Chain A
Amino acid sequence: MPGEGNAESVDVLEELRICFNIERFGDQLAELTRYIENFDFDDARDVIERVADKLSIPLDKR
């Protein structure tokens, strides 16, 4: 969703917060929240890609 600049990313962020392992990804979550709330979607996407990479989750290409 951040990849296409979707305004609903803000809502999904709330759901994502529940799923995140705060101890492991607390910094990334804070960073992601800041970017999405500021509508800096490209930067948000970079954070998601880094987290996905650590969790070995494949993402669609941009």
Chain B
Amino acid sequence: MDEKAKILIVDDERLNLNVLSDLLRQDYKVVLAKNGNQALDRVNSDNPPDLVLLDVLMPEMDGYEVLRKMKSADETKGIPVVFITALDSEHDEARGLELGAVDYIRKPFHPPIVKARVKNHLTIARQRKLLEGLANLDGLTEMPNRRSFEMALDREWRRCSRSGDNMSLVMLDVDCFKQYNDSYGHTAGDEVLKKVAEVLKTEVQRPADVAARYGGEEFVLLLPETDSDGGRYIAEKIRVLISELDIEHGHSSAGNVLTVSLGGVTVVPSNFSEAKDLTVGADSMLYEAKRRGRNMVLWTDLT
């Protein structure tokens, strides 16, 4: 069974919190906040709400300011916010909606309408999350796609730039994949890609690490806070594990079984370099590995 959606109700009036909480508690997990700062604490928690019902008029920080702060942070800007307020002018409503609220309910409210609107907005939010997930996933291997990888690279590059940590990136290419497809058929080729993806998914499991399908028979591993020894170790392990899958490949120049070539690079991200340099570096190592005979790991350490 699906876990109950979580709704944050923000209002400085105890009575309003009571009424709305009683209205929604049966269907949802309800959390409450009595001011703007508490609301921001709740939305920035490890388990943020799926929807926020937000009062406008509150002391210290009003609802507009809470929404503005939520919209300015990547982690919270996607949480739908419904204003529920005694401010009843069209100007106030327009302001709330222009700031990014998904709806605006005027007090006194009609409870069944509040319930219906909450339900509708949660449905929309759930569908949007699903679409976002699909847009970032490779359909064949069900692992992150290139778009997802590039977003992660950008995010981790900025993070490591701030912390001064190493960052490693590996590009992996299935050796003689065209010949495999030509000999065994595209369905068999797809199965091989799925098996390679399974190895990568199993071996790359730290929270910030990303294994993604870069395109065709090319995969990429993003390894933040990893030095060249650590990166090379995992790349070599993956190379061995894939050859040990023992998938027959009678038309490969690298052996009788399916193999992969890997190129890796380690850098310390800084303001003087760009994230794409990492991809270019790993790609040139991969090219060199293929030129030297395939089924190998080549690495460059630029730290």
A residues adjacent to B (C-beta < 8 A): 4-8, 38-42
Contacts and interface: CB of A to CB of B under 8 A. Distances in A.
A7 B14 contact: no
Interface in B38-59: 38, 42, 45, 47
A5 B32 contact: yes
A40 B42 contact: no
Nearest to A42: B38
Contacts of B29: 6, 8
Contact of B14 (A4, A5, A39): A39
Contacts of B14: 38-39
A4 B17 contact: no
A5 B38 contact: yes
A7 B38 contact: no
Contacts of B21: 7
Interface of A is mostly: loop
A41 B25 contact: no
B30 interface: yes
Interface of B is mostly: mixed
B31 A7 contact: yes
B interface, size bucket: 10 to 19
B58 to A, nearest CB: 13
11 contacts: A4-B31, A4-B42, A5-B31, A5-B33, A6-B30, A6-B31, A7-B21, A8-B25, A8-B29, A38-B14, A39-B18
Interface string B236-279: 00000000000000000000000000000000000000000000
Nearest to B34: A39
A48 B159 CA distance: 37
Nearest to B12: A39
Nearest to A38: B14
A41 B21 CA distance: 15
Contacts of A7: 9, 21, 25, 30-32
A45 to B, nearest CB: 12
Contacts of B32: 5-7, 39, 41
Contacts of B38: 5, 41-42
Contacts of B25: 7-8
A39 B17 contact: yes
B301 to A, nearest CB: 39
A34 B47 CA distance: 27
Given A5-B42, A7-B21, A39-B34, 15 more contacts: A4-B45, A5-B8, A5-B31, A5-B33, A6-B29, A6-B32, A7-B30, A7-B31, A8-B25, A8-B30, A38-B14, A39-B17, A39-B18, A40-B34, A41-B32
A42 B34 CA distance: 10
Nearest to A10: B21
Contacts of A39: 14, 17-18, 32, 34
A51 B8 CA distance: 28
A6 B14 CA distance: 14
A35 B34 CA distance: 12
Nearest to A4: B31
Pairs A-B, 4 closest by C-beta atoms:
A7-B30, A5-B31, A7-B21, A5-B32
